[in-house]
């Protein structure tokens, strides 16, 4: 583990940012490019005049930026990996919640299949015993469908609440663990973490809503099917118990399949959001395998806006890191 840098003026450890500042300041003391890279909006600053030698100035800027990029690259790569390690921890912490949801879906489908079973010696005899007997059985099936699907809907509420609570708790833990390592200023780190928490919470609530809608659709489909069977019984058509059982089983398996896909999509959304915040808080250096400026491949207007936002964030972080702050120790994972 690298020994943190200790500030000679305040006697406090400034972590990797302090070390980075101490190592870079002698090299950038004679460079003017930081001033030239000020916030793009230019608020409070006079527009610079045209340089006398634009070609030479461009070449000088490129050389200075390349030199600083080479010095920053190992730090950027290290911070990128450390922040990524903590975000991977967040994904691992949230995984049991989604696994639990999938287990509950499988369990409730199995229970519904048992509770809505219509094939049996007594059932078969009742269906074949006459119109009144068949109609009574199908009406009972409709009642069971409404009762049991409603009960299952209620059972999913605590799991959804635990997921939302878990997201809030673990994202706050992430905030505390990433703070000593992120290259971002504390204000920007706080904003990014709040956005992540809000996005994941909204996605978790949307997942719960979709599961409830899936159960409503299952209840509607089975009720309509049982009702159609009762209408056929009134017309003296003999309902086939095997057909009834197969239909119930197919509808339940369709519910299970669709819900599993939605939970898997939520898991992928967690991965996507955490990778995005890693790019925002600790982007990899250009030579890193994870460096992929995807925003440059989309709409040009959106890409320009995104680029400006990233450069403004970079300027905020540079200003913060070159001041005498104490972001904390750079601990080992």
The 10s digit of each residue's pLDDT in 205-228 is 999 999 999 999 999 988 887 766
| Separation between Cα atoms, residue 18 and residue 31, nearest integer Å | 19
At residue 218, the pLDDT reads 92
At residue 326, the pLDDT reads 45
At residue 87, the pLDDT reads 92
At residue 329, the pLDDT reads 40
At residue 10, the pLDDT reads 45
The 10s digit of each residue's pLDDT in 47-73 is 555 556 777 888 887 787 778 777 777
At residue 13, the pLDDT reads 40
Residues lower than pLDDT 50 in the chain: 1-21, 23-24, 26-31, 37, 40-41, 120-121, 232-236, 290-292, 295-296, 324-333
At residue 184, the pLDDT reads 77
Secondary structure class of 185 (helix, strand, coil) = coil
| Separation between Cα atoms, residue 333 and residue 330, nearest integer Å | 9
At residue 303, the pLDDT reads 60
Q: What is the CA angle 291-293-299, rounded to 5?
A: 170
- Concatenated DSSP letters of 108-139: HHHHHHHHT---SHHHHHHHHS-HHHHHHHHH
Give domain limits for the chain: 72-230+240-282
């Amino acid at each position: 583990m690298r020994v943190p840098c200790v500030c000679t003026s305040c006697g406090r450890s400034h972590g990797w940012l302090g070390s980075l500042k101490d190592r870079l300041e002698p090299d950038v003391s004679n460079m003017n490019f930081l001033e030239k890279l000020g916030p793009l909006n230019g608020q409070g600053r006079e527009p610079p005049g045209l340089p006398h030698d634009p070609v030479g100035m461009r070449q000088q800027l490129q050389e200075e930026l390349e030199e600083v990029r080479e010095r920053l690259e190992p730090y950027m790569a290290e911070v990128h990996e450390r922040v990524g390690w903590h975000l991977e921890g967040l994904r691992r912490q949230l995984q049991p919640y989604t696994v639990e949801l999938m287990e509950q879906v499988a369990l409730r489908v199995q229970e519904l299949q048992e509770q809505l079973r219509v094939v049996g010696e007594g059932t078969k005899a009742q269906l074949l015993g006459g119109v009144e007997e068949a109609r009574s059985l199908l009406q009972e099936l409709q009642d069971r469908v409404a009762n049991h699907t409603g009960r299952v809907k209620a059972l999913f509420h605590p799991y959804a609440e635990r997921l939302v609570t878990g997201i809030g708790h673990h994202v706050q833990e992430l905030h505390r663990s990433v703070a000593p390592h992120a290259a971002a200023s504390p204000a920007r780190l706080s904003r990014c973490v709040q956005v992540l928490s809000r996005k994941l919470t909204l996605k978790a609530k949307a997942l719960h809503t979709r599961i409830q809608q899936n159960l409503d659709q299952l209840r509607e489909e089975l009720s309509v099917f049982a009702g159609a069977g009762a209408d056929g019984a009134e017309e003296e058509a003999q309902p086939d118990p095997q057909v009834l059982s197969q239909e119930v089983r197919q509808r339940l398996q369709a519910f299970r399949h669709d819900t599993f896909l939605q939970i898997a999509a939520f898991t992928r959304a967690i991965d996507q959001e955490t990778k995005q915040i890693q790019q925002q808080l600790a982007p990899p250096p250009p030579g890193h395998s994870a460096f992929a400026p995807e925003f440059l491949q989309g709409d040009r207007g959106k890409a320009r806006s995104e680029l400006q936002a990233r450069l403004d964030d970079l300027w905020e972080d540079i200003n913060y890191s070159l001041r005498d702050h104490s972001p904390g120790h750079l601990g080992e994972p």
